[in-house]
Amino acid sequence: MANALVVWGVAGALGGRVLLRIEDHDRQRCRPEWEEALLDDLDWLGFVPDVFPSAAYRAGPCDGRQSDRDAVYRETAAELAARGLVYACACSRRTIEQAAPAPGGAEAELRYPGTCREAGLPLDGPVTWRLRLAEVEERFEDARLGWQRQTPAAQCGDLAIRDRHGNWTYQFAVTVDDLRQGVSLVIRGRDLLASTGRQIQLARLLGRDAPPVYLHHELILKSGGRKLSKADGDSGVRALRAAGWSAPDVIGLAAHGLGLLPRPRPVPAKAAAALFVEAPTTD
């Protein structure tokens, strides 16, 4: 909900268009009913995408659904492999943890130490496909957080682009899609900030000279600083809707949680852009 508010609000304030993408690249974890629930929630809230609207998905295969873009990802991965940039990795998460424990503890990102980099394993079979990353620093200006410096090779090691089950990874799929679908502004939660440098490096390898602009917004957190989670019983749009909340009430609650309003008040979807061009009011 928070991300939808910022995406539609910022796009409206800038006169941009919203592309709706169903990121169901992990076929073991995604379900058609979850996609339908997302589309229904957006329709109810009044957030209508300009590219790939709900009707496009409900009509059948859609270029905005990542599970329908396997051929695109295969073609892109083949181009990278032909340049010697992709190799097979037989390591499990456990073997990686044992070989290179995360220095920051359980919450730190796991870094792949390059165990299979020169092993010459075939790409067929139950192996992870990894992209060779250069030991270079990526500098970029976040539209909200300012200048950032990241060294992807030191953060995550060589990037996994397809897992051993044949699923394309988030990092790979979104970078390919951002390039091929002409995305110029990426708006997402601050929890994904660490992904940016590696996506910029991958995009450059794919021929993108200038990366999109990135804007990482704050998350709506509960007490203790933890993210809201359905697994913890936190209320989502559907639960609030069932409890009798109106769409403007739900949007206003999210705006307050993000610090855009001093207190919750109804905000219709068509007024979301005003939250990003006007100072917060006290009414």
* 10-residue mean pLDDT series, the chain (283 residues): 95 97 88 92 97 95 96 98 98 88 63 96 96 97 97 97 96 98 97 97 97 95 52 69 96 95 96 82 44
Residues 122, 11 within the same domain: no
Residues 240 and 247 sit within 8 Å (Cβ to Cβ): no
In a domain, 281, yes or no: no
In a domain, 83, yes or no: yes
In a domain, 154, yes or no: yes
**Partners of 149 in beta bridges:** 139
**Domain's final residue, options 213, 235, 260:** 213
Instruction: Report the SS3 class of residue 22.
Output: strand
pLDDT tens for each residue of 168-207: 999 999 999 999 999 999 999 999 999 999 999 999 999 9
In a domain, 173, yes or no: yes
pLDDT value for 99:
81
Rounded CA-CA distance 255/272 in Å is 9
Residues 187 and 6 sit within 8 Å (Cβ to Cβ): yes
Neighbour order of strands in the sheet with 159-162:
86-89, 128-131, 159-162
Residues 106, 203 within the same domain: yes
**Domain's final residue, options 180, 213, 246:** 213
Residues 14, 52 within the same domain: yes
Residues 44, 107 within the same domain: no
Residue 282 φ then ψ, to 5°: -110, 10
Joined together, the tokens standing for residue 44 give: 């109810």
Residues 82, 191 within the same domain: yes
Enclosing domain of residue 244: 2-66+220-276
Q: How many structural domains does the chain have?
A: 2
Q: Which of 174, 2, 184, 191 is nearest to 73 (CA)?
A: 174
Residue 56 sits in a domain of what CATH number?
A: 3.40.50.620
pLDDT value for 150:
98
pLDDT value for 54:
95
pLDDT value for 26:
85
Residue 153 φ then ψ, to 5°: -60, -30
pLDDT value for 282:
42
Rounded CA-CA distance 34/38 in Å is 6
- Residues sharing a CB contact under 8 Å with residue 54, sequence separation 6 or more, in sequence order: 20, 39, 42, 43, 48
Rounded CA-CA distance 189/192 in Å is 6
In a domain, 194, yes or no: yes
pLDDT value for 98:
87
Residues 124 and 86 sit within 8 Å (Cβ to Cβ): no
pTM recorded for the entire structure: 0.90
Rounded CA-CA distance 6/218 in Å is 10
In a domain, 207, yes or no: yes
CA 83 vs CA 11, 86, 135, 190, 195: distances in Å: 37, 8, 18, 33, 23
pLDDT value for 278:
60
Residues 139 and 176 sit within 8 Å (Cβ to Cβ): no
In a domain, 93, yes or no: yes
Classify burial at 144, counting beta carbons within 10 Å of its beta carbon; exposed 0-12, middle 13-18, buried 19 or more.
Answer: middle
Amino acid at 4: A
pLDDT tens for each residue of 40-54: 999 999 999 999 999
**Domain's final residue, options 168, 197, 213:** 213
Residues 150, 126 within the same domain: yes
Residues 74, 57 within the same domain: no
Residues 35, 160 within the same domain: no
In a domain, 283, yes or no: no
pLDDT value for 232:
46
Residues 123, 198 within the same domain: yes
Residues 76, 148 within the same domain: yes
Residues 186, 77 within the same domain: yes
Q: How many CB atoms lie within 10 A of CB 156?
A: 20
Residues 15, 106 within the same domain: no
Classify burial at 245, counting beta carbons within 10 Å of its beta carbon; exposed 0-12, middle 13-18, buried 19 or more.
Answer: middle
